[in-house]
Amino acid sequence: MSGLDEANPKIMCVSHIKDVDGCVSAALIKHVTKSHFLLASYGNLNDCLRSIRTSYSSVYVCDLGINETMIKEFERIRQFAELIYIDHHPIDLAVLKAIQKIGVKVVHGRLDCAGVLTYNLFERDFPRGAGLLAAYAAVSDRLENGPLAKKLLREYDRDFVLFETMMLTYAIEKASIDYKKKLVPKLSRLEYPHQIPDVMKLALEQAERVATMRRELPERSKRIGNLCYAEAQGDSLGTIANLLIEVCGAEIGVGYDNNKQKQITDLSIRGAANLKTDLGKKAAKLAKKFSGTGGGHRKSSGARIPTSKLLEFIRALNH
Ligand SMILES: [Mn+2]
């Protein structure tokens, strides 16, 4: 999954494949350092880290929450490269201390997205257009009120930022992995999303998918108490979870996807504006109880559990 145009063979960036924030972070790092990049999901993050060879001297990891299972690979990488970790997901204090102890440079903030943190780290080295990329990340991650994002967004025309952000957000939700690998270098060259081939087409297709889901989800979702859940049909789990809250009037929306071969289920969990429960903490606790992993933010979290535990997990989440 690497992008190979005119890249510096000694610098690697591993970033989140899922959304605008992850792709923008990779694009910004690539812009400044000419790095290679790998786009990872939580499912293959450790495999991606393991694939980083000793020929690299700098490794960036962006927009990917880490837990104790990744420390081993961080330690291995630290034997031959500097490692810079840029993220905004909640991190366990013991994990943070462990990676700092082995000399990982940690750029972590809970209130700004990874794209904005990355932009801030290299601000002097970026032309003006790069700030736009960080602005897309902030809006798309719903962190435009972050202390750094707020300042940044004041500098750009709001309508243009919102337009480009939403085209990019919807396009990335619809795009294949291969498309995203081509998209990141284009973003790193500061091309406007709407001018990048197929962004508008993909965004429109995604808008149509959302329209279809709005119509279908009330019928094909299931409800337990104030929680609604539905299986993905190739759509982003987060989108489904958010839509369930709106179109089914749920307090908690859950989109899930079963990997039939591995008997593993991925879930995205979203909370309504008035929900008091911390879904990040709850997902972490319950996933652990059901032999999986989970975590995230207060109103937006995720988990990966054995498929056999799906119903039990959902029932416990409703409690
Ligand atoms: Mn993010």
Predicted TM-score (pTM) of the model is 0.90
Rounded to the nearest whole angstrom, what is the distance from the C-alpha of residue 312 to the centroid of ligand 1?
A: 29
Confidence label for 5 from pLDDT (cuts 50, 70 and 90): low
301 Cα–ligand 1 center, Å: 12
The pLDDT mean for the chain works out to 95
User: What's the gap in Å between 143 CA and the centre of ligand 1?
Assistant: 9
* Distance between Cα 269 and ligand 1 center (Å): 15
Give the Cα separation of 315 and 304 in Å (integer). Answer: 16
Average pLDDT score over residue span 114-133: 95
Q: Do strands 227-231 and 36-40 pair parallel, antiparallel, or not at all (unpaired)?
A: unpaired
Task: Name residue 229's beta-bridge partners.
Answer: 222, 254
Q: How far is the CA of 19 from the centre of ligand 1 (A)?
A: 7
What does the alpha-carbon distance between residue 176 and residue 171 come to, in Å, rounded to a whole number?
A: 10
Ligand 1 center–CA 296 separation, angstroms: 10
Backbone phi, psi, residue 168, to 5°: -70, -40
* In the predicted structure, residue 14 carries a pLDDT above the cut 80: yes
Q: What is the largest CA-CA distance in the chain?
A: 54
Q: 21: CA distance to ligand 1 center in Å?
A: 5
Which residue is it, tokens 């416990």? 316
Cα of 263 vs centre of ligand 1, distance in Å, is 27
pLDDT higher than 80, residue 143: yes
The mean pLDDT value for 182-189 works out to 98
Domains of the chain, each with CATH number or no CATH: 11-201 (3.90.1640), 221-318 (3.10.310.40)
In the reported structure, the alpha carbon of residue 178 is separated from the centroid of ligand 1 by a whole-number distance in angstroms of: 20
- Look at the block and give the residue holding tokens 């899930």: 256
CA 115 to ligand 1 center in whole angstroms = 7
Question: Which of 120, 111, 167 lies closest to 142 in space, CA to CA?
Answer: 111
Q: How far is the CA of 219 from the centre of ligand 1 (A)?
A: 31
The H helix count followed by the E strand count for the chain is 13, 11
Average pLDDT on 75-99 reads 97
Alpha carbon of residue 289 to chain centroid:
24
Bridge pairing between strands 82-87 and 264-271: unpaired
Cα torsion through 103, 147, 18, 260, rounded to 10: 80
User: Residue 201 above 50 pLDDT?
Assistant: yes
